[in-house]
Structure 1
Amino acid sequence: MDKVIFDVRRKMVLDFIEEKNYKPMKFKELCMVFSVPKREKEEFKEFLDQLIAGGELTLTENGRYKKAEPDTFTGKFCGSTRGFGFVTVEGMEQDVFIPADETKGAFHGDTVLIQLVAPAVPAGGTRAAKRAEGKVLQIVERGFTEVIGIFQKNKNYGFVIPDNQKIGSDIFIPCGKTMRAVNGHRVVVKLTDYGNDRKNPEGTVTEILGHADDPKTDILAVVKAFDLPTEFPEDVKTQLLSVPESVSPEETEGRRDLRDRMTVTIDGEDAKDLDDAITLEMKDGHYFLGVHIADVTHYVKEGSPLDKEALKRGTSVYLVNKVIPMLPHALSNGICSLNEGMDRLALSCLMELDERGGIIGHEITESVIRVNHRMSYNQVSRILDGDKELTVVYADAVKMFKEMKTLSDLLRKKRKERGGIDFDFPESKIELDDRDFPVDIHPYDRNPATKIIEDFMLMANETIAEDFFWQELPFLYRSHESPDTDRIKRLMILIKNYGYYMNIRQDSIHPMEFQKLLGKIEGTPEETMISRLVLRSMKQARYTTENLGHFGLAVSYYCHFTSPIRRYPDLQIHRIIKENLHGQLDDGRQAHYHHILPDVAVQTSSTERRADEAEREVEKMKKAEYMSKRIGQRYEGVVSGITNWGMYVELPNTCEGLIRLQDMDDDYYIFDENTYTLTGEDTGRTFKLGEHVRIIVKDVDFLAKAVNFMLEDSIFAEGEM
């Protein structure tokens, strides 16, 4: 709906609601009042839903629309095992706390209408910040229709203990609805009743995934729990029949022919979907960098079954050894993969940079390329280290790799100078056996070659975003807004205990202050801990139609352009870029994009969060499985978190475990939430973040996907490790 029409209709509806004689009306009655023709009823329903989402209307339990109560908002309910919950409201800085007796039977994942009953209280002095408090007025939409969990038989009926610990109740399974599941089976339950504060939810077992002890069932359970689509619909499969296996001469007409340039892809050893390639030449002291991205939109047309399914999925999901792709393999591993020696269609960002790494010109063009070498990060890193054998094998590209390293260093230096924040957390590399059981976990090696690709992709993304911002065309940006002031003040209190300080001016902070802090803590015992606290203080990046800048990168313009095989936003802006190149973005097409892009931004931000959560769940699960075979073993670790229920310790292999307060039986420990320390009441013994400790693996809670440690008597003196 056009914004002007939306605003006019919104005023009409809300003015009507304000009338004294107004009574809640059903949808059919409202359509009659506003003379909505049959062909526009679906659009009118969407319009009313937007007013509900904006907190201006509510829908009663009997389906009548009425004016929203004061201070009402719509958001997602996040449950807990203790009955209370939190509601995430779009645009609100913090979640709203919902006491257990005010949830109105809301289930984890539900969309709910809430009313604020107490505002948020910011931190001040020694006083901790307090979340806003609310109560659920209405359940707008159920978030889950199915639950995954472990079946427990009890005479003629059963219960399912949900895998998701945020679902606070077991699911009751009546007699005859168990599919003959036995104790320990991991099952899928279709919910038939969501229960209330006096009654458990109820459901029917619809699928038995296998036994909980079988490692192959756990990833499948996460896939089911997050409703990740594993099969492509029939209309998508039908469309794939028309996708060619190779590029025809006709398809290359009118494109920039770059097949004579030395072109490489640099990816992980096991990567299959190669959607970015690089060229680099030096002329008169200037760098001519080409970032060439697979032209996926040539094969995925707007509104086609492939496009609709890609938007629905939003992103590819990577679950240790399993990939749930956004696009079918015929595209992602076939015609859209920039395979060595094959002609491929691309969308290229050609940039000229001066000797200091500053961009002095660029061009965006449709192209045809041919990759000379399919390289791995490890191979390029070894070549840069002088590996003689690889230097001979790839002699024609060695000079280019060295120039890439030089340019990468320049770009990284420039990013640091402007205040870009470079978090260097060790990612976990989890290796599984043929039974899907983890046999090794260690930090993933981030070498110079990975940084080269990262730096070049960042440059292309920034260049594209700035180009389209100044053209004032509808676009999809990757936005990372400035941190919330209260969170920064809280962080300041914490780092002050370690002798660090950041400069805040007029309730705002420049990313350079974070970068300076990260530089000061580099190599210190508290580096990992403070880095994580800095990250937690920031907002989550998201997709927006408005250019809000990227705080973490310290850039004014940023988008996602470089991965259209695995991210829908990239695919979407490729379509806009290509239409612009062909002069097709007339007023009608711009209006079209202004209409659809807000929904694309919301959908893709949501599916990205879903993918991140699923990936974290699988990682936690596999780490728990790995440590379950190491009960009683001793490790050296670092205190990574302290709470009022215990302290978390991270091991060198990236696994983390909890030492519960009740297991610290040498004293009664008091938690200080301002300094994040635990202090013994009698001994005065203090534990703080970043401290080195010795632990023993106590046990593993598979339901919670958590590892529990016990503390050894001795702790490391500062600097011993």
Structure 2
Amino acid sequence: MSTIIGELSLHYEGYGFVAPTQSGHPDVFIPARLMGDAMHGDLVEVTVRKNAKGLMEGSIKAIVQRRLKQMVGRLEYQAGKWSVLSEDQRVRHKMRLVSAPRGMQHGDYVVAKITQYPSEKRPLEGEVIEQLPKRGSLPSEVEYVIAKHQLPKMFPEPVEREASFVKSEAPTRYASRDTSDGRKDLRSLPFITIDGDDAKDFDDAVCAQKLPNDRIRLWVAIADVSHYVQPHSALDKEAYERATSVYFPGRVLPMLPEILSNDLCSLKPHEDRLALVAELLLSHHGEVIEEHFYPAIFQSHARLTYTLVRRLLVDKEESLRKETQFLLETLEILSEAAERLKNLRSMRGSLDFDLPEPEIILDLTGGIEHIEKTERNWSHQIIEELMIAANEAVARFLVKKKVGCVFRVHDGPDPEKISRFYKIVQRLGFQGRFHFPVPSHHLMKILKYFKGHAEMRLINSMLLRSMAQAVYSANNIGHFGLASKCYCHFTSPIRRYPDLIVHRLLKTAWGDAKWRPPEILLEQMSEHCSRQERRSMEAEREMIALHMTLFMQDKLGETYEGVISHVTKFGFFVELIDYFVEGLVPLESLKGDIYAFDQEHLALKGKRHKKLFKIGDRVRITVEEVKLSERRTFLNLLDTKNTFSKMDA
């Protein structure tokens, strides 16, 4: 028997899992009967022991910290008493209101602040602090999601005032090439930024030169946010509390006020900007043989998009290449550097997941025009490789200087989960010996084996769920997914607070600052940033699901073709051909037989006719129902047309 402390994540069926705050420990299963009065998101102390079946499970011993501060739900008025009922099934308690809400009525949706947490003697109590708009429209549902995940929409007035002051004090240009704070002047180098079409917060700019002996000198310049956001300032406290920017379709909840994130700190073209620079010398094989770090002044010479770079380097559009001849040499060298780094990373066993995400296309009025698969091409990978190299180099430097670091760590797979994963890929035809601890390059072989086949998306998704979640920590255990012994986040300080911490520690290592928190404080800050990151990711996922369901609302009764993407015991999911949208065909809606989940074939199998519905089957469906509150679209099967999968091989 042992005791751990971690964050509780509840499942709608009542059970939950506790993710230990200390990295390197697996999640602990908590049965519903041992949950006590704990709520979703609470920091809890758990006693871990073996149950009657010999499996490890935990029971809530104590609630260390209540994390849920407010609740979003529907007002109910019964027998003269007001209450709030959450539609989030992970919230198991109904809230009793301590006072009657003014100007509201039964059925309204509200945000209520918790004033009394549930216990054996008292129920959950609270008071209404905000009435939400009538549910059903895109704007009202967006407000619902923001409130549900406790995301801040506005900056406090002192923060906005301080941001305006910082902007007013900053010079627009730096006349002298010799600066008083020892910054290098890199304005003559042809730096460029490469970002999405709609991006405004440009964190990073890159430049490269070819040298003798087939070497490449690479510069990665990152916005020097730490110059403007000082420790313990109003800006700093608010940025820390948020810890990350949150990105929704057509909207951003930024970590910093826009006067900084989209203006003063953003690496706009042809404007003087302060930066922290990682200068790396790469060998012919992509090894970093020299690395230097320093503050600098520079200018971005061009603001490029991923689409434009793809047209230049991948599609090789001749007319466009002639128009942008002055950029081509730099782009070609950057591409070569990225290819060397990628090959080296692949050789050491770094995992490259292929999990396409939906891109929500909005019209000029903010309505949902289309949903398609997000493009990820070589132009995206160029920036990814260069940023990974800079992040690793900075982490190595901070370890060498012994000033502390907020590492980005990723533990190896859980043995039980990865064992189940192995059994599934073996059923699907993968041949190979499995042993523990599992090497990352072996998992990469599995991903490559299924590449281009119907099960590819499922295998990528299952492997991802078999692994620990990457988190921030002051304790370095390495990054399993990247096969990196030492890794941190340095390249996005405009939108991630851990990167801002790393920038401050870099300045401490140079002797330019004395900000050096003890390791225990760095660990607390790391845990907070990890928690806020999970919150933002949950909100972003729900927002994508919301847009999908709203998009399908006016398509009830319409017929589409799709491909079975996932099979479960309660039905199968279909990915539509016309739109990158998934819907569920429920088990009980299937006609002509009694179907059950066949674990051997990862399929639904008819008991009488033995018909299989499996991953990769092409089907025709109609849109049967859209449940906005569940963020789910339900489909009705018309007919099927089998496609090739590994199970057919």
- Which position in structure 2 is the counterpart of 1:325? 254
Is 2:196 aligned against 1:273? no
Q: Which amino acid aligns with 1:252?
A: T
- Which position in structure 2 is the counterpart of 1:95? 28
- SS of 2:555's equivalent in the other structure is coil
- SS of 1:261's equivalent in the other structure is coil
- Contact kept? 2:395, 2:407, Cα under 8 Å: yes
1:99-498 matched pairs, under 5 angstroms: 99=32, 101-116=33-48, 118-119=50-51, 132-151=56-75, 160-168=84-92, 171=95, 176-177=100-101, 179-181=103-105, 183=107, 185-191=108-114, 201=124, 203-240=126-163, 241-243=165-167, 244-245=169-170, 246-249=172-175, 252-253=179-180, 254-284=182-212, 285-384=214-313, 385-433=315-363, 436-498=366-428
- SS of 2:557's equivalent in the other structure is coil
Is 2:642 aligned against 1:716? yes
- Which position in structure 2 is the counterpart of 1:65? none
- SS of 2:326's equivalent in the other structure is coil
- Contact kept? 1:437, 1:625, Cα under 8 Å: no
Alignment partners' CA distance in 1, 2:371 and 2:423: 35
Post-superposition offset of 1:661: 1.7
Q: In the superposition, relative to structure 1, how do residues 276 and 342 fare at CA in structure 2: closer, same or farther (>3 Å)? A: same
Q: Percent identity?
A: 33
Identify which range, 227-236 or 433-442, moves more after superposition: 433-442
Post-superposition offset of 1:675: 5.2
- Contact kept? 1:216, 1:435, Cα under 8 Å: no
Alignment partners' CA distance in 1, 2:610 and 2:202: 57
- Which position in structure 1 is the counterpart of 2:465? 536
Alignment partners' CA distance in 1, 2:545 and 2:340: 37
- Contact kept? 2:207, 2:334, Cα under 8 Å: no
- SS of 2:537's equivalent in the other structure is helix
- Contact kept? 1:294, 1:337, Cα under 8 Å: yes
- Which position in structure 2 is the counterpart of 1:50? none
- Contact kept? 2:191, 2:206, Cα under 8 Å: yes
Post-superposition offset of 1:615: 0.6
- Contact kept? 1:677, 1:686, Cα under 8 Å: yes
Post-superposition offset of 1:242: 3.4
- Contact kept? 1:80, 1:167, Cα under 8 Å: no
Is 2:606 aligned against 1:676? no
- Contact kept? 2:398, 2:505, Cα under 8 Å: no
Q: In the superposition, relative to structure 1, how do residues 628 and 200 fare at CA in structure 2: closer, same or farther (>3 Å)? A: farther
Q: In the superposition, relative to structure 1, how do residues 172 and 215 fare at CA in structure 2: closer, same or farther (>3 Å)? A: farther
Please give the root-mean-square deviation of Cα atoms over the aligned residues, in Å. Answer: 2.8
1:312-339 deviations in Å (ceiling 9; x for gaps): 1111111222111111112111221111
Post-superposition offset of 1:712: 2.4
Q: In the superposition, relative to structure 1, how do residues 465 and 79 fare at CA in structure 2: closer, same or farther (>3 Å)? A: closer
- Contact kept? 2:6, 2:20, Cα under 8 Å: yes
1:385-424 deviations in Å (ceiling 9; x for gaps): 3334432332211122122222222222222222111112
Q: Which amino acid aligns with 1:271?
A: A
Post-superposition offset of 1:158: 5.9
- Contact kept? 2:571, 2:586, Cα under 8 Å: yes
Q: Which amino acid aligns with 1:286?
A: R
Alignment partners' CA distance in 2, 1:314 and 1:162: 26
- The size of the alignment, in residue pairs, is 636
| Aligned mate of 2:567, from 622, 633, 642 | 642
Length-normalised TM-score, structure 2: 0.91
Q: In the superposition, relative to structure 1, how do residues 477 and 247 fare at CA in structure 2: closer, same or farther (>3 Å)? A: farther
Q: Which amino acid aligns with 1:164?
A: D
Post-superposition offset of 1:160: 4.4
1:636-676 deviations in Å (ceiling 9; x for gaps): 33333333322223334332222222112432222245653
- Contact kept? 1:638, 1:651, Cα under 8 Å: yes
1:559-588 deviations in Å (ceiling 9; x for gaps): 111011111111111111112123666xxx
Q: In the superposition, relative to structure 1, how do residues 509 and 136 fare at CA in structure 2: closer, same or farther (>3 Å)? A: closer
- SS of 2:259's equivalent in the other structure is helix
Alignment partners' CA distance in 1, 2:95 and 2:513: 55
Alignment partners' CA distance in 1, 2:640 and 2:196: 41
Identify which range, 603-612 or 702-711, moves more after superposition: 702-711
Identify which range, 615-624 or 674-683, moves more after superposition: 674-683
1:479-518 matched pairs, under 5 angstroms: 479-505=409-435, 507-518=436-447
Q: Which amino acid aligns with 2:355?
A: F
Alignment partners' CA distance in 1, 2:19 and 2:411: 17
- SS of 1:718's equivalent in the other structure is coil
Q: In the superposition, relative to structure 1, how do residues 346 and 717 fare at CA in structure 2: closer, same or farther (>3 Å)? A: closer
- Which position in structure 1 is the counterpart of 2:525? 600
- Contact kept? 1:179, 1:205, Cα under 8 Å: no
Alignment partners' CA distance in 2, 1:642 and 1:194: 39
Is 2:449 aligned against 1:520? yes
- SS of 2:221's equivalent in the other structure is strand
Q: In the superposition, relative to structure 1, how do residues 530 and 206 fare at CA in structure 2: closer, same or farther (>3 Å)? A: same
Q: In the superposition, relative to structure 1, how do residues 179 and 521 fare at CA in structure 2: closer, same or farther (>3 Å)? A: same
Is 2:510 aligned against 1:581? yes
Post-superposition offset of 1:293: 0.5
- Contact kept? 2:403, 2:509, Cα under 8 Å: no
| Aligned mate of 2:581, from 649, 655, 658 | 655
- Contact kept? 1:428, 1:442, Cα under 8 Å: yes
Alignment partners' CA distance in 2, 1:173 and 1:354: 66
Post-superposition offset of 1:498: 0.8
- SS of 1:606's equivalent in the other structure is helix
Q: Which amino acid aligns with 1:366?
A: P
Q: Which amino acid aligns with 2:237?
A: K
Q: Which runs of 5+ in 2 are unaligned?
A: none
- Contact kept? 2:361, 2:369, Cα under 8 Å: yes
1:122-167 deviations in Å (ceiling 9; x for gaps): 8xxxxxxx5x334434444433232213446668666644242322
| Aligned mate of 2:8, from 70, 74, 77 | 77
Q: Which amino acid aligns with 2:337?
A: L
- SS of 1:352's equivalent in the other structure is strand
Q: Which amino acid aligns with 2:503?
A: H
